[in-house]
Amino acid sequence: MNNQLVWIKLGLTTFFWALMFYLGKYAVAYMSPESISGWRFLLAGLVLAPVVAMREGLDWQGLKRNAVPLLIMAVVGIGGFNLALFHGLRYTSPVNTSLIMALCPALIAVFGALLTGERIGLRQQAGLALGILGVVVVISGGSLAVLLALSFQRGDLFILLAATCWAIYSTIPKRFITGLPSLQVTVGTVSLGGLLLSVYANTTQVDFFILPPLGVVTAIVAMSLLGSVLAYIWWNDGVRQVGAGMAAMFMNLVPIFAALIGVVLGQAITLAQIMGAVLVVGGVWLATTQSASPARSPLELDVAKHKS
């Protein structure tokens, strides 16, 4: 029964991350990406910090000792990732977003190897190449003319930048974070990122303190509580109970859920998206699974997305 509950939580986590792309697509029609990001993570930090404090306490000494890498993670992985994500959602579809973001595990595997000086295996090289090919198919719409003209949609390029920011965020802990559990890293970067994004949005945007429509408020609250707080807690619980490798396999459900949500909303799925999905998921599987490889820590595979 406990294992079944874990599977349900991990499945719901990936569903929340897929749903977040649609909520974000809706919200950016009424509010700037900067203000959405600021409120989303300010709220997430205000909720996540006391929850983690009650569950396992806050390691203030560890957070202080790792202040510099946590600040870099907050700027790149919270700030850069979310600004690129929401700007991208202005111009591209949630399905395209989920397919491009599905490249993250392969990018993390490669960036992690580069950061630690380890040799990049043939499976990782092949997986990354396959995943990049899938992303190219998605952002070009399967059109050779688009490829030859290099006229990609700027929304897809923003999402590719967001995926790169998230991969960098996810590989920093392995090399630069010492003696701090993944959930402590999460609460530190989310809280700090929310504060920085809020200050940035308040100084650059006129709509930060303007009340948007109720639907937008609901979308931001849902992205914050479901896609950032609850999903991250459930993800960490799942990693602890079933292992990082098994939990990571659930990441492949994000583009599938995104496509299903699109079908329910009456959106058509293109052949290029289907082909891209097959290539991206195949590339992720190649890059992140190795025979007879040592177990990886939960922190190394903590790629969820807050979600985003």
User: What pLDDT does 296 receive?
Assistant: 46
Give the list of residues 6+ apart from residue 75 with CB closer than 8 angstroms, or none. Answer: 193, 196
User: What pLDDT does 233 receive?
Assistant: 87
The mean pLDDT value for 245-264 works out to 77
Flag whether pLDDT at 31 surpasses 80: yes
* Calpha distance 9→90 (Å, rounded): 30
- Read off the pLDDT of residues 161-191 as tens digits, 9 standing for 90 and up: 999 998 888 888 878 899 999 889 999 999 9
Give the list of residues 6+ apart from residue 49 with CB closer than 8 angstroms, or none. Answer: 58, 187, 191
User: What pLDDT does 222 receive?
Assistant: 97
pTM of the model: 0.81
* Calpha distance 233→183 (Å, rounded): 8
* Calpha distance 156→142 (Å, rounded): 14
Flag whether pLDDT at 294 surpasses 50: no
> Highest mean pLDDT range out of 95-104, 132-141, 147-156, 258-267?
258-267
Q: What is the mean pLDDT of the chain?
A: 83
Residue 82 or residue 287, greater confidence: 82
Flag whether pLDDT at 37 surpasses 90: yes
CB 283 within 8 A of CB 127: yes
- 54: tokens are 């009650």
User: What pLDDT does 301 receive?
Assistant: 46
User: What pLDDT does 298 receive?
Assistant: 42
- Read off the pLDDT of residues 144-154 as tens digits, 9 standing for 90 and up: 666 656 556 78
User: What pLDDT does 112 receive?
Assistant: 73
Give the list of residues 6+ apart from residue 220 with CB closer than 8 angstroms, or none. Answer: 23, 27, 31, 36, 39, 40, 43
Flag whether pLDDT at 45 surpasses 60: yes
